[in-house]
Structure 1
Amino acid sequence: MSGNTAKQARQEAAARLEAVKAAQARASRKRKLLWAGGGTVAVAVVGSLVAVALINDPPPPPAASIQIAGLQTFENLTSKHVATPVTYPQSPAVGGDHASAWLNCGVYSQPVPAENAVHALEHGAVWATYDPAAVSGAEVENLRKALPGTYTVLSPLAGTASPIMLSAWGAQVGVDSPADERIKAFVSKFWQSSNAPEPGAACTGGINAPGRTA
């Protein structure tokens, strides 16, 4: 092979090598762009899913902002433990002096002692009562389903101002039906509320009243 021919061969080989390197570099840049694009798309998809979730299931509003038509509130309630019956100004009671033993939260088919139920309110429970003369058995079951499974007392109480009364420490509202949206609003505002003197204290380990069914 002559000198010129060898030189030309080396130049061609070098050119081919540079072409291969250039192709590899282009392929590498393409892969990086694809990864970056995929990451951007993934972030966008996650963000979209979060946005959809927030739209479909928005976080609950602050309790203080919840407005409930007909709500009554009561302040400066005492909370001493007493061993004697208490005459409460509200029916059902919403707070005040009460028995030293709290009523175990649950469902009762008979009226419960107010003094023990008020102690459960002190622990942040919601007490739902219904007038058995105005609320059917099916409605009682629907009311039970509308309430949280813990920190609630459900019991009959005849002669109340409304067929269904919802009570928490220092708060009360009456409704006519378990389908009333105010039940959900009341629970959101007052269930385990900091308005209670001892929210989160036990709602089990106290006493059962007669007629407890759940």
Structure 2
Amino acid sequence: MADGTSEDDNLTIKQQREKRRAEKVAALKKKQQTEKLRNRITVLGSIAAGAGVLSLIIAVVITSATPPVDPSTIEVEGVQEIEGLEPIHVETVVEYDQTPPAGGPHNPAWLNCGIYEEPVPNENAVHSLEHGAVWVTYDPAQLSDDEVSQLRNAMPSTYMILSPYEGLDAPVYASSWGFQVALDGVDDPRLNDFIVKYRQSPEVPEPGALCSQAVDGPGKIS
């Protein structure tokens, strides 16, 4: 500006924070669009129908069998919304109001996303939720080994945590920052809907932050 001040100098602290969050979301969406373009594959093939017939070159762009789904249009029955969660760092054990937790105070180090065969620390996993991860937990006493394998195979490769959690009141839970749903089992269709709707949500406190390069919990297998 002409008087030497920037536009941000005239904004309140809250407005500056909201502006920075909007810039993060825009950068994340741009990155995701770029990755989608890179993942498109063009396959060229030629078909000869016999002597004297010109070869036909077919360009095929491989995309998803169904069009992308707008996460905001997905309704997940039974989802509990948890409000008033404080995204603050603590060095102590936290007594969370939810089991498993779905946000709140957490350890300064986030848990590296992946599949774990042992329980992971709540405080590290909650930090990963702050970054946009979805945490799927299951009670090993309520699932067979085959069902656990099925659950592992259904997990996306990024921004996902899967771990056992003893003593749950449902076989499977899916949690993101501020949202949670109890599921009837590994075949519950709400699991996939929850993941599509909330994984890497721009509404988390730190959208686009890493879900790797931090700490592993015990029993990480991938």
TM-score (structure 1 length as normaliser) = 0.72
1:118-153 CA-to-partner distances (Å, cap 9, x unmatched) read 000001000000000001121111112222111111
1:201 aligns with 2:209: yes
Which position in structure 1 is the counterpart of 2:186?
Answer: 178
The residue aligned with 1:190 is: 198
Q: Paired residues, what number?
A: 164
- In structure 2, the residue matched to 1:212 is 220
- Structure 1 gap ranges (5+): 1-45
Q: For the aligned residues, what is the CA RMSD?
A: 1.9
The residue number in structure 1 matching 2:176 is 168
Q: Hey, what's the Cα distance between the residues in 2 that align with 1:96 and 1:117?
A: 11
C-alpha separation between the residues in 2 aligned to 1:74 and 1:142? 29
Is the 1:146–1:178 contact (alpha carbons within 8 Å) kept by the matching residues of 2?
no
Q: Which runs of 4+ in 1 moved over 2 A?
A: none
**Secondary structure of the equivalent of 1:128?**
strand
- Tell me if structure 2 keeps the 8 A contact 1:71–1:172: yes
The answer to whether residue 71 in structure 2 is matched with residue 59 in structure 1 is no
Deviation at 1:212, TM superposition (A): 1.0
- Equivalent runs, 1:1-214 vs 2, <5 Å: 56-60=65-69, 62-214=70-222
Q: What percentage of aligned pairs have identical amino acids?
A: 48
TM-score (norm 2): 0.70
Write 1 or 2 for the structure with the bigger share of strand.
2
Question: Where does structure 2 lack aligned partners over 5 or more consecutive residues?
Answer: 1-58
CA displacement, residues 72-108 of structure 1 (integer Å, 9 cap, x when unaligned): 1112210110011100000110000100000111111
CA distance in 1, matches of 2:92, 2:216: 18
| Greater helix proportion | 1
